[in-house]
Amino acid sequence: MRGLADPAEPTAGRDALEAAAVRLNEAISILDAVERGELLAELPRGADAAAKHQCAVSLLAVLRRELQLLACELESASQVQHLIDRLSRAEPTD
């Protein structure tokens, strides 16, 4: 039978949540760099190229929104895990 994990020690689940949140924030930073550098600021010439450019800009906006929501959810899950860990370390009050 497996014993309970020591809440004072890092767990794979907690580490994975934190690592995933960091990776998502790095991906969002790449999108921020594209925006700050105005890499997609000018429409290319030609109707076809302009339409593809606008489609790419729209897709990146959707991607940013989804990454931000996912990062927020992971950060929330990580905070909940930290709270559970803290509560499990607390002395029982009998």
Q: What is the pLDDT of residue 3?
A: 44
Give 3-54 pLDDT, tens digit per residue: 444 445 556 677 888 888 889 999 999 999 999 999 999 999 999 999 999 9
User: Cβ neighbours of residue 13 under 8 Å, at least 6 residues apart?
Assistant: 81
The per-residue pLDDT for 30 is 94
pTM of the model: 0.70
- The yes-or-no verdict on residue 69 having pLDDT over 90 is yes
pLDDT of residue 7: 46
- Nearest Cα to Cα of residue 21 among 61, 62, 81: 81
The predicted-structure confidence for 73-93, as pLDDT tens digits, reads as follows 998 888 888 888 888 887 776
